[in-house]
């Protein structure tokens, strides 16, 4: 079921998983995918605010902090091995180069220098991606966790290149400073798991001691970067385990309790130099893990709050946390129009209790609002958008109605291609400057393929008798009388729920077995002959079924073809 954005008071744990695909091997990439699937399915809890971010190929719109498991699963499915990663060459060499062969040794030295140059650039890219995440975490409340899933990267140059080493160390120190000021703790997990460094029996011949030693040294050097980041920010490194979820659980458990200690340094400590911090416990046997220190900075350098109208709307639109100053509810659902093609109809509901009404002429109450809505595709690009100013006037009777029942608004988005989309909207009160935001994730099916497809699910209940409810003008704000099935808020009482329906598109004749998860209860089954774009209703009332549990997955079959639809609806009792 879709979820709404959390506000700051609802967030319990903030966790950013950074998948270092600039350095993951093919095998490690699959380990990471399975680990993250298990975390979302079994370890993620209510109130968790989670992001999955890649250091190489970005996931666009899917790289965001969210409590919506659908977005996280979509991000996980798009985690693939990066063929341009640091792991282009095998991690274990069966045959070492003979140092007495000058030509071979020189060629190997040249290759090693090129590999190190390439690895240094990729390591810098990894640090840059982590830095971007840490900066975005700075505005979030509380203590935050960054869990780095990586095969590792070195800090010190193999060729004793001081410039290369200094470049990486400076980047690491800058990152540590950002993390400490953002209350971010880095936990590093070795994605390689438990590594055997002795060659297997299938290699044949004698084991080369030089190759084994080199493999051990390489493995230790690769841990330098992740270990440094974790230690300097108060975290730790998890190694030598094939169950990466154990490492995640240890990191999460470590964040359950901590002490936040502050002090007022002397004025000269606010220079640009690094000042180390050490804390020791008087009680024997106790070890204190803490951040390593800080760089001096001026409080005036801190980012200021948005002041202008445009800044306020943009801040609310891009904030990972929902703005709750003004209550805003948004419900997008997909359907296929015979005239316009694939559409996502988005319904908005404004709670007017916190809006500012001005006194107008002739006893009128005036309301001035601004609404901006965007549709972002998988790459984070804007697919469609709208921005409108809404100026309304109400007589006394209408004013009382909107205070009691709120306002409704509709917007249709035309999407050019199928895929995952996120819809974000911001409502701003022009008088008070208060804002409210809403966000929803929806999957748009590919209708170009001749497969069975379903629209979003439509729940119905007895309609009110007011004609204004039955015939709302498209995209027009409407105020309505109380209704047992409030279509503006998408709230239905259990006894009023009558039917469920959907729009069918592209019937197919391909035969596949039907599978229904055992956890789902069959609410109704109906055989019918239908054409594309026909609306299908359930054959009987659903009033005995709790709305919060209705059709979390809806199954439709045609000629033994089954498709599972997870429609974007919001049901509450």
pLDDT surpassing 60 at residue 378: yes
Q: How much is the pLDDT for 525? A: 53
Average pLDDT over residues 10-35: 89
Question: What per-residue confidence (pLDDT) applies to 71?
Answer: 85
Determine, yes or no, domain membership for 325.
yes
- What average pLDDT score do residues 290-319 get? 70
* pLDDT for the residue 462: 60
- Between residues 157 and 309, which one has the greater pLDDT? 309
Kindly give the pairing relationship between strand 144-150 and strand 13-19.
Answer: parallel
Q: Is the pLDDT of residue 520 over 70?
A: no
Whether 320 is in a domain gets the answer yes
CATH number at residue 56: 3.40.50.410
Judge if pTM exceeds 0.75: no
Q: How confident is the model at residue 516 (pLDDT cuts 50, 70, 90)?
A: very low
**Top-confidence residue, 264 or 393:** 393
Same domain, residue pair 207 and 182: yes
Q: Please, which pLDDT band fits residue 305 given cuts at 50, 70 and 90?
A: low
- The overall average pLDDT reported for the chain is 72
Confidence (pLDDT) at 211: 60
Note whether residue 519 is domain-resident: yes
- Please give the residue that has the higher pLDDT: either 279 or 99: 279
Q: Is 453 a member of any domain?
A: no
Is 155 domain-assigned? yes
CB atoms within 10 A of CB 208: 16
Residues 6+ apart with CB under 8 A from 103: none
User: What is residue 64's predicted lDDT score, i.e. its pLDDT?
Assistant: 77
Are residues 514 and 418 part of one domain? Answer: no
Answer yes or no: do 277 and 312 share one domain: no
Q: Poorest-confidence range of 16-30, 45-59, 284-298? A: 284-298
- Do residues 209 and 346 share a domain? no
Q: Give the CATH number of the domain where residue 472 resides.
A: 2.60.40.3880
Percent of residues, the chain, with pLDDT higher than 70: 58
Beta bridge partners of 375: 384, 423
Give the residue with greater pLDDT, 141 vs 27: 27
Query: Does residue 516 lie within any of the structural domains?
Result: yes
Identify the three-state secondary structure at position 500.
strand
Task: Give the pLDDT mean for 287-303.
Answer: 64
Rounded distance between C-alpha atoms, residue 476 and residue 355, angstroms: 18
Same domain, 343 and 423: yes
Is 208 part of any domain? yes
Per-residue confidence (pLDDT) for residue 557, from 0 to 100: 41
Length of the chain: 573
pLDDT at residue 325, as a whole number: 85
126 pLDDT higher than 70? yes
Categorise residue 153: left if φ over 0, alpha if ψ from -120 to 50, beta otherwise: beta
Q: What is the pLDDT of residues 432-478, one digit of tens each?
A: 999 988 887 787 877 776 666 666 666 666 654 444 333 333 345 55
Residue 328, domain member (yes or no): yes
Pick the most confident of 58-72, 78-92, 166-180, 351-365: 351-365
pLDDT tens profile 176-204: 888 888 889 999 999 988 776 555 555 55
pLDDT of residue 367: 94
Residues 163 and 295 in one domain: no
For 337-363, what is each residue's pLDDT tens digit?
777 777 888 888 888 988 999 999 989
Letter string b/e over residues 419-453, b meaning 16 or more CB atoms within 10 A of that residue's CB: ebbbbbbbbbbbeeebbbbbbbbbebbeeeeeebb
* pLDDT band at residue 89 using 50, 70 and 90 as cut-offs: very low
Same domain, 405 and 472: yes
Neighbours of 298 (CB within 10 A): 7
**Both tokens assigned to 311:** 């800044």
**Greater model confidence, 81 or 258:** 81
Query: What domain count does the chain have?
Result: 4
Q: What is the pLDDT of residue 59?
A: 47
At residue 274, what are phi and psi to the nearest 5 degrees? -85, 130
* Domain ranges, residue 271: 267-301
Q: Average the pLDDT over each of 41-55, 128-142, 510-524 and give the range with the smallest value.
A: 510-524
pLDDT over threshold 90, residue 336? no
CA pair distance 549, 509, nearest whole angstrom: 31
Same-domain check for residues 72 and 151: yes
More confident site: 534 or 251: 251
Q: Give 219-249 pLDDT, tens digit per residue.
A: 677 788 899 999 888 899 999 888 999 999 9
Specify whether 532 is located in the same domain as 469. no
Does 250 share its domain with 290? no
Q: Are residues 398 and 438 in the same domain?
A: yes
Q: Helix, strand, coil shares of the chain as percentages rounded to 5?
A: 30, 25, 45
Q: Are residues 561 and 507 in the same domain?
A: yes
């Amino acid at each position: 079921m879709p979820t709404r954005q959390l506000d700051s008071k609802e967030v319990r744990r903030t966790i950013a998983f950074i998948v270092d695909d600039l350095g993951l091997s093919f095998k490690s990439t699959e380990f990471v995918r399975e680990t993250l699937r298990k975390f979302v399915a079994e370890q993620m809890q209510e109130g968790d605010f989670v992001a999955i971010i890649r250091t190489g190929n970005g996931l666009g719109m899917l790289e965001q902090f969210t409590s919506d498991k659908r977005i996280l699963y979509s991000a996980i499915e798009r985690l693939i091995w990066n063929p341009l990663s640091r792991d282009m060459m095998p991690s274990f060499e069966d045959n070492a180069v003979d140092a007495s062969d000058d030509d071979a040794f020189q060629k190997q030295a040249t290759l090693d220098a090129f590999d190190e140059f390439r690895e240094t650039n990729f390591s810098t890219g990894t640090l840059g991606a982590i830095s971007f995440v840490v900066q975005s975490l700075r505005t979030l409340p509380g203590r935050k966790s960054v869990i780095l899933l990586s095969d590792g990267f070195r800090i010190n140059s193999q060729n004793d290149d001081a410039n290369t080493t200094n470049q990486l160390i400076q980047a690491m120190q800058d990152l540590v400073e950002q993390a400490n000021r953002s209350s971010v703790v880095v936990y590093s997990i070795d994605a390689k798991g438990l590594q055997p460094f002795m060659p297997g029996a299938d290699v044949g011949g004698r084991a080369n001691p030089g190759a084994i030693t080199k493999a051990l040294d390489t493995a230790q050097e690769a841990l330098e970067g992740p270990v440094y980041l974790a230690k300097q920010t108060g975290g730790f490194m998890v190694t030598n385990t094939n169950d990466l979820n154990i490492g995640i659980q240890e990191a999460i458990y470590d964040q359950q309790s901590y002490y936040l200690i502050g002090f007022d340094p002397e004025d000269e400590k606010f220079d640009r130099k690094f000042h180390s911090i050490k804390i020791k416990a008087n009680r024997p046997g106790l070890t204190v893990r803490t951040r390593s220190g800080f760089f001096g900075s001026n409080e005036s350098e801190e980012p200021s709050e948005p002041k202008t109208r445009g800044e306020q709307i943009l801040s609310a639109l891009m904030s990972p946390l929902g703005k709750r100053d003004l209550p805003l509810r948004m419900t997008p659902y997909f359907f296929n129009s015979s005239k316009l093609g694939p559409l996502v109809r988005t319904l908005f509901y404004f709670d007017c209790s916190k809006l500012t009404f001005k006194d107008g002429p002739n006893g009128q109450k005036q309301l001035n609002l601004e609404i901006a809505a965007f549709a972002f595709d998988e790459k984070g690009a804007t697919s469609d958008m709208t921005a409108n100013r809404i100026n309304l006037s109400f007589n006394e009777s209408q004013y009382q109605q909107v205070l009691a029942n709120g306002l409704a608004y509709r917007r249709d988005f035309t999407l050019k291609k199928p895929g995952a989309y996120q819809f974000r909207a911001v409502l701003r009160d022009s008088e008070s400057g208060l804002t409210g935001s809403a966000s929803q994730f929806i999957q748009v099916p590919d209708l170009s393929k001749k497969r069975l497809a379903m629209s979003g699910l439509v729940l119905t209940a007895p309609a009110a008798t007011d004609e204004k409810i039955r015939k709302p003008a498209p995209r027009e704000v409407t105020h309505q009388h109380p209704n047992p099935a409030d279509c503006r808020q998408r709230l239905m009482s259990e006894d009023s729920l009558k039917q469920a329906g959907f729009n069918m598109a592209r019937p197919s004749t391909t035969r596949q077995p039907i599978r229904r998860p055992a956890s789902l209860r069959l609410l109704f089954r109906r055989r019918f002959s239908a054409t594309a774009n026909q609306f299908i209703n359930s054959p009987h009332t659903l009033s005995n079924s709790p709305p919060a549990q209705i059709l979390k997955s809806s199954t439709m079959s045609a000629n033994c073809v089954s498709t599972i639809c997870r429609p974007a609806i919001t049901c509450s009792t």
